[in-house]
Structure 1
Amino acid sequence: MGLYVLPYIGGVIGLGLGLFAIFRPYGAAKLVGIKIDDALPHSISEVRATYGGVFAGGHAFALVTGSDTAFVTLACGWGLTGIVRLVSMVIDRAANGANYGGTAFEFVIAALLATPFLIS
């Protein structure tokens, strides 16, 4: 078992974030630093669908199937998210605590999801 528990930890975290966004979209929006505009009803749907549906669906699939490919695909997504955030911090002059924390979190989740498949 050993390292093979790590992707499941990352998967549960990702699934939890997705479920949080589905059932608590205002809380999820606040967590990531965006605001739902009540005058634009589709904005709440966007948070539920993108932060909720995509996160919950992808992570649930990996957890249920145990697919190495699914876990590595999620790891690539999390890792690229961290890389894009780093680039944004430079080109958008957006280096701040929230972005540093977000980047670290994204790389940790990517590492959890991918580590056993990279070293075996």
Structure 2
Amino acid sequence: MGKIVDFDEERIKQFVESLRSDDPEIRKKLDNDFDKDGNSYILVEVRPDWMDPSIIRRHPFAKFKFIGTQKIWKLYWLRANGKWQLYDPLLEVKDLDQIFEEIRKDPYGCFFG
């Protein structure tokens, strides 16, 4: 029996890969990855702890969720208080590429600071 491929997840993997440095030495100090939680995907920055480099920290910076009943995606950013906030400039989209473009451009400094 063949493996079922989640095309959205494949696109997300490709997007995260596009955020990563080509230099393996830089990736040891700063990298990107994602976690999946149900219908939500959380983009994380991966880096060593500044006090103990043997500890690797994963810092979330963007979250997007698929609402299956409406066939839309919603984008969230992580506030300083640790709570996810709906990203007002792009409340809901049907195309995941719009989310990728908004995160990459980061016009309000919500994702990359």
- TM-score norm. by structure 2 comes to 0.30
- TM-score norm. by structure 1 comes to 0.29
Greater helix share, 1 or 2? 1
Greater strand share, 1 or 2? 2
